[in-house]
Structure 1
Amino acid sequence: MTDAHVKPGDRNGPSQTQGLMPGEPGSISACTDVPRLAAVRIADDTPTDCLLERVVRTLQDEGSTVAGFIQRQGCQDLSGHAEMLLEEICGGQRFCISQPLGKNSRGCRLDPRAIADIAGPLLEAIESKPDLLVLNRFGKGESEGQGFRTVLEKAFMLGIPVLTSVKQAYVPAWEAFAGDFAVSLPPSRETVLDWSRRVLGSS
């Protein structure tokens, strides 16, 4: 992919405030052999963090540079729930992204401020153009234009392939964001590795 923007809401790619439509000079063609964005479709009770980690470690062993985060579970917080942690793939540093809401609370425990604090440094880190960016989820924040949305958009513009996962509730938002540049993958290590190797080979 070349460095370019596409218009907001266009089904052919990540939304931006201004930019080019696919097919215009300097824009991104939708006719690539391997889609550069991939999301593992998951049910609400299907863990994918171990799957993503195994894929990342295999690719690293094969010599690829991978940036991004893998989700972990921490100790129980004051509300009795396990802390939600993101572990940096490159450095191993962990960041807590959850907030205690009370023992009987059913609200979203994700802390948007914590995500914003780590999204900034990640935006700078991908300037070095790693071979692959892995983000644990495309979720509520990203579907609303927050979370790691700007990181995804920048990776897209830099031509960095992106691997993430998405729950069924956020599939429509993911499809609106990624359009024709994405592929859906089953939660299979072999399938995810196959896409990863093909997209890295075409980079």
Structure 2
Amino acid sequence: MLGYVSVDGRGAADALLRQAADILRANGIPLAGAVQVNDDRDPSRKCHMDLHILSGTDVVRISQDLGALSQGCRLDPAGLESAVGLVAAALDTHPAILIVNKYGKQEIGGRGFRPIIAEALSRDIAVLVAVNPNNVPAFLDFAADLAAPVTPDLKAILDWSSQATDRQILRNVT
């Protein structure tokens, strides 16, 4: 089962996936993957981008500070690959769902989380991916007919998760 959410707005998909992951964990759903947290530190500088690894407590910085005037891509490929390695190892713990924070340029190029998505699907692990609207065509080229859109709201994601895991997900878990 491969679901994807596509939402406009800086950080909107990140916040949505983090909230869903928190609820799924509170319901005892074993997870693998990563959610992104942006650390806005100074209005004159770009934020730090960190991936929180869902199978443990690791946090991996995936951004580089290229300076306040930089216009280039700030992704740190080594940081991303470090996160990918942690997530790949977590597949051996038999998670119910793999959550991937982003299907982006690295994945379009065959790197990043793309091999992990394929591996999880081959192991019958449900996969939920956030995809920028501009990247949906490339994602669908990769996913073929396996991908199903999930409405980008918490209820729809939790309903998809219930279906993927055959478990009722309680929304008001404390």
TM-score normalised to structure 2 length: 0.87
Please give the alpha-carbon distance, in whole angstroms, between the structure 2 residues aligned to 1:120 and 1:59: 22
For these two proteins, the number of residue pairs brought into alignment is 166
Paired residue secondary structure (1:39): strand
Q: Does the CA contact (< 8 Å) of 1:44 and 1:167 recur in 2? A: no
Which residue in 1 is equivalent to 2:24? 59
Please give the alpha-carbon distance, in whole angstroms, between the structure 2 residues aligned to 1:46 and 1:63: 26
Cα deviation for residue 186 of structure 1 reads 2.2
Q: Does 1:198 align with 2:163?
A: yes
Q: Any stretches of 5+ residues in structure 2 without a counterpart?
A: 168-174
Please give the alpha-carbon distance, in whole angstroms, between the structure 2 residues aligned to 1:59 and 1:120: 22
Which residue in 1 is equivalent to 2:7? 42
Paired residue secondary structure (1:122): helix
Cα deviation for residue 44 of structure 1 reads 4.3
Q: Any stretches of 5+ residues in structure 1 without a counterpart?
A: 1-35
Please give the alpha-carbon distance, in whole angstroms, between the structure 1 residues aligned to 2:61 and 2:10: 21
**Which structure shows the bigger proportion of residues in helix conformation?**
2
Which residue in 2 is equivalent to 1:93? 58
Aligned with 2:121 (options 152, 156, 160): 156
Please give the alpha-carbon distance, in whole angstroms, between the structure 1 residues aligned to 2:88 and 2:52: 16
Cα deviation for residue 131 of structure 1 reads 0.5
Which residue in 2 is equivalent to 1:179? 144
Please give the alpha-carbon distance, in whole angstroms, between the structure 1 residues aligned to 2:86 and 2:50: 17
Write out aligned runs for 1:1-203 (5 A).
Answer: 36-45=1-10, 47-74=12-39, 76=41, 80-201=45-166
Alpha carbons of 1:184 and 1:57: their partners in 2 closer, same or farther (altered >3 Å)? same
Which residue in 1 is equivalent to 2:170? none
Q: Percent identity?
A: 34
Question: Which structure's CA Rg is the greater one?
Answer: 1
Cα deviation for residue 63 of structure 1 reads 2.2
RMSD across aligned C-alpha pairs, in angstroms? 1.8
TM-score normalised to structure 1 length: 0.76
Please give the alpha-carbon distance, in whole angstroms, between the structure 2 residues aligned to 1:76 and 1:46: 15
